[in-house]
Amino acid sequence: MKVAVVGATGMVGNIMLQVLKERNFPITELIPVASERSVGKTISYAGSDYTVVGLETAISMKPDLALFSAGGDTSLEWAPKFAAAGTTVIDNSSAWRMDPGTKLVVPEINGESLSSEDKIIANPNCSTIQLVLALKPLHEKYSAKRVVVSTYQSITGTGVSATKQLENERNGTDGEMAYPYPIDKNCLPHCDVFTENGYTKEEMKLTKETKKILDPKINVTATAVRVPVVGGHSESINVEFENDFDINEVRRLLHNQDGITLKDDPTTNIYPMPIYAEGKDDVFVGRIRRDESQANTLNMWVVSDNLRKGAATNAVQIAEILVKKGLLKSTLTV
């Protein structure tokens, strides 16, 4: 199978290559793709070197699959061109997520809905993925009505420029600023740009994407905060259900959900943390407790590596479903 990774030299692109190798995805020919300034560079994958090519060249090579992580503008322009050439595109940007004709997929939730008609498939926002995966089994059992989520998001969600800013601040070095304020020893209630309603785009992604993936009747309100953390995103989630629940059953449902690891024993200081989630593919859930201020309401703390399950791993898992369903040609078995 010919696989193109668009944005191969970027932070998420690098993790995509790593995850493809770790999961032994059936690649017979890798096509690393990047912007013109990176064309001609060499990257290594599975013991071989590959030359980075541009988008036009990549299309002419007719890949079976293209994993996009090169920004919304690039995806809007180029994903349809790849699709028109017969390539199935899995896009990690926000470009196609809310498009009515494009499926927004978390494999453990709605991956089986994919069909041969889906030539462009959207990967949800990193913070949305961990939220909806934790909500899924609970919504199926108790019917979620309203979700209040506050995020504590890693600087890696911004990219290399943010990690460099943090490094510079900790080393006392002047440099370019990815954020309007220092991030070291600070928290910025400012993820993405502000919209007319006073929320940021990141906060509205959590609202809109949750509705599209899980249930349009769920009301979601969010506050997204950038914190000086590298390992992953954390979320404080308060969810009100139509029906009452049993805490032990909640734990059992989460424990049995594919893609979730339960870490919930406060008596021994066991709870999810970014330092534990970094480099792992699961979503970690803990601090599960009843909200004693109103009926049928639960609090939980959810952590995930935003570059892996929040981006690269989720995209590769989508591709694995396509192979499993025979929607991508392959002579190998995933």
Confidence of residue 328 (pLDDT cuts 50, 70, 90): confident
Whether residue 126 lies in the annotated active site: yes
Domains in the chain, CATH or no CATH each: 2-124+311-324 (3.40.50.720), 127-306 (3.30.360.10)
Kindly name the residue from 190, 191, 233, 255 that is annotated as catalytic: 233
Mean pLDDT of 73-89: 97
pLDDT higher than threshold 60 for residue 331: no
pLDDT, tens digit, 9 for 90 and up, residues 26-38: 999 999 999 999 9
Mean pLDDT of 39-57: 96
Can you give the pLDDT at residue 288?
98
Give the Cα separation of 331 and 196 in Å (integer): 50
Give the Cα separation of 333 and 313 in Å (integer): 18
Mean pLDDT of 145-172: 97
3-state secondary structure labels for all residues of the chain = CEEEEECCCCHHHHHHHHHHHHCCCCCCEEEEECCHHHCCCEEEECCEEEECECHHHHHHCCCCEEEECCCHHHHHHHHHHHHHCCCEEEECCCCCCCCCCCCECCHHHHHHHCCCCCCEEECCCHHHHHHHHHHHHHHHHHCEEEEEEEEEECHHHCCHHHHHHHHHHHHCCCCCCCCCCCCCCCCECCCCCECCCCCEHHHHHHHHHHHHHCCCCCEEEEEEEECCCCCCEEEEEEEEECCCCCHHHHHHHHHCCCCEEECCEHHHCECCCHHHHCCCCCEEEEEEEECCCCCCEEEEEEEECCCHHHHHHHHHHHHHHHHHCCCCCCCCCC
pLDDT, tens digit, 9 for 90 and up, residues 87-114: 999 999 999 999 999 999 999 999 999 9
The proportion of the chain whose per-residue pLDDT surpasses 90, expressed as a percent, equals 98
Q: Work out the mean pLDDT of the chain and round it to a whole number.
A: 96
Using CB atoms within 10 A of its CB, is residue 296 exposed (0-12), middle (13-18) or buried (19+)? middle
**Cβ atoms of 7 and 68 closer than 8 Å:** yes
- Supply the pTM of this predicted model: 0.96
Whether residue 190 lies in the annotated active site: no
Tokens matching residue 220: 């979601």
Amino acid letter for position 146: R
pLDDT higher than threshold 60 for residue 332: no
Closest CA to 111 of 323, 280, 334, 282: 323
pLDDT, tens digit, 9 for 90 and up, residues 224-261: 999 999 989 999 999 999 999 999 999 999 999 999 99
